[in-house]
Structure 1
Amino acid sequence: MKIYFARHGQTDWNIIGKVQGTTDIPLNENGIAQAQLLCKNLEDRDISFEKIYTSYQARAVKTAQIVDEHFHTGYEIVRGLEEMNLGLFEGHTWDEILSLYDEEHKLWLSNKRYNCTPGGESYQMVMERLFKALDYILGQHDSSSDKNLLIISHGAVIMTLLAMKRNIPFEQSHTIEVDNASPIEFSIEELEWIRERL
């Protein structure tokens, strides 16, 4: 069994560079098209999956619904897969954040894994809730099966896994690109290796 993570399709806030976090912004027309392209991408790569799991946020649920309409595997909303809570940073561009919350931003940057955004979460907190969600998800399936799972989540959530997998410090996490609606593969063994380092 492999776990494929995919970020939701594009939103209007993605285009203008506003931090979304817990703010529930819907897909735009391009985001809907990206979700449809995700289906083609999965087919072209011959990736089959047993079920879709998704964050509760509208942009992720809509992406999951579009994929489900194509593959008819069913989807389930699971708490813990949602985007990082970025607190006071949400609704602002990064330039605005530097202007409005310069000291808070510097403090966060000084230890991005463990320091919370003002009124929000740390990356460590995101990883801990993510792995609780994964425990639930994997508990529903036989991990020795050749069937795969698809998880629709968010940029910061997937970035944490890639940073851990690649041994990239969280202070350099901005170098990790997580494209909208593009599948990223993790083996069960890779996820367990990451878990051991939490």
Structure 2
Amino acid sequence: MSSPSLPTNIVLIRPGASRYESEGRIRGTLDIPLDQTGLEETARLIRELEATELRLDTLYHGPCRPASETAEAVGRALGVPVRQVPGLRNLNYGLWQGMLIEEIRTRQPKIYRQWQELPECVCPPEGETIADAEERLTRELQKILRRHRGDTVGLVVAEPIAAIIKRILTHCPLGDLWKAEAGHGRMECIRVNALEPAPASG
């Protein structure tokens, strides 16, 4: 039973890797299954969750296969209900999807640096902006937090969506989203009372 007076524990879980992550490719919204590395990472996540004092009440995940396969495996192992949320889908990288990150670094060095330093100012060609992703994610997070006050909720979401969610919840910097792409098969816990507007810049 959720309580209006208690914070919600959000366990932010990056799914295991697909072959695209293992190869250094940009997956975005492409539906690629977990590879052997991803399966091993998922098994490790389950062991880590079993060892923690946190008890997940529910798991939400985005619609991509790495997220759904990771969430379903964790849910089965821990006896936790699992629900897919379309609004937690990964960032649409447009024409960058399927490309090697190294290709962008060598062919479009200026755009590469901008995405590294000021990703809010870049829209991947035919893709989605950070601002658009934040808008849909904020709507989903507000619903989840209202529904699960005082609960412990797992969010199985790929990078860079995980980094964007963390910024929405904590107002921390996004950081280098190219490095974030390598962040799979790990988790962290964030305690949240309510979503608060980001502090004004300047």
TM range (shorter): 0.7 to 0.9
Q: Is the 1:81–1:130 Cα contact (8 Å) retained in structure 2?
A: yes
**Worse-superposed segment, 129-138 or 57-66:** 129-138
Q: CA deviation at 1:110?
A: 7.2
Unaligned runs of 5+ in 1: none
Q: Residues 43 and 22 from structure 1, CA distance in 2 versus in 1: closer, same or farther, beyond 3 angstroms?
A: same
> Following the alignment from structure 2 to structure 1, what is the Cα–Cα distance between the partners of residues 127 and 138?
19
Residue 186 of structure 1 aligns with an amino acid whose one-letter code is: I
Residue 159 of structure 2 aligns with an amino acid whose one-letter code is: G
Q: 1:73 is paired with a residue of what secondary structure?
A: coil
Residue 18 of structure 2 aligns with an amino acid whose one-letter code is: T
Q: 2:87 is paired with a residue of what secondary structure?
A: coil
Q: Is the 2:116–2:178 Cα contact (8 Å) retained in structure 1?
A: no
Residue equivalent to 1:20: 27
Q: TM-score, normalised by structure 2?
A: 0.82
Q: 1:113 is paired with a residue of what secondary structure?
A: helix
Q: Is the 1:158–1:178 Cα contact (8 Å) retained in structure 2?
A: no
Does the alignment pair 1:42 with 2:73? no
What are the Cα deviations for residues 89-116 of structure 1, in whole angstroms up to 9, with x where unaligned? Answer: 1101122224555565566567411431
Residue 189 of structure 2 aligns with an amino acid whose one-letter code is: E
Residue 33 of structure 1 aligns with an amino acid whose one-letter code is: E
Q: Is the 1:10–1:28 Cα contact (8 Å) retained in structure 2?
A: yes
Q: CA deviation at 1:33?
A: 2.1
Q: Residues 161 and 197 from structure 1, CA distance in 2 versus in 1: closer, same or farther, beyond 3 angstroms?
A: farther
Match for residue 152 of structure 1 among 127, 134, 156:
156
Q: Residues 114 and 94 from structure 1, CA distance in 2 versus in 1: closer, same or farther, beyond 3 angstroms?
A: same
Residue equivalent to 1:192: 195
Q: 1:179 is paired with a residue of what secondary structure?
A: coil
Q: CA deviation at 1:79?
A: 1.6
Residue 39 of structure 2 aligns with an amino acid whose one-letter code is: I
Identity among equivalent positions (%) equals 21
Does the alignment pair 1:85 with 2:88? no
> Following the alignment from structure 1 to structure 2, what is the Cα–Cα distance between the partners of residues 197 and 118?
29
Match for residue 168 of structure 1 among 166, 169, 173:
173
Residue equivalent to 1:67: 74
Unaligned runs of 5+ in 2: 1-7
Q: Is the 2:171–2:198 Cα contact (8 Å) retained in structure 1?
A: no
Match for residue 65 of structure 2 among 58, 62, 65:
58
Match for residue 182 of structure 1 among 183, 186, 193:
186
What are the Cα deviations for residues 147-186 of structure 1, in whole angstroms up to 9, with x where unaligned? Answer: 300010011011224456464365x444558632222111
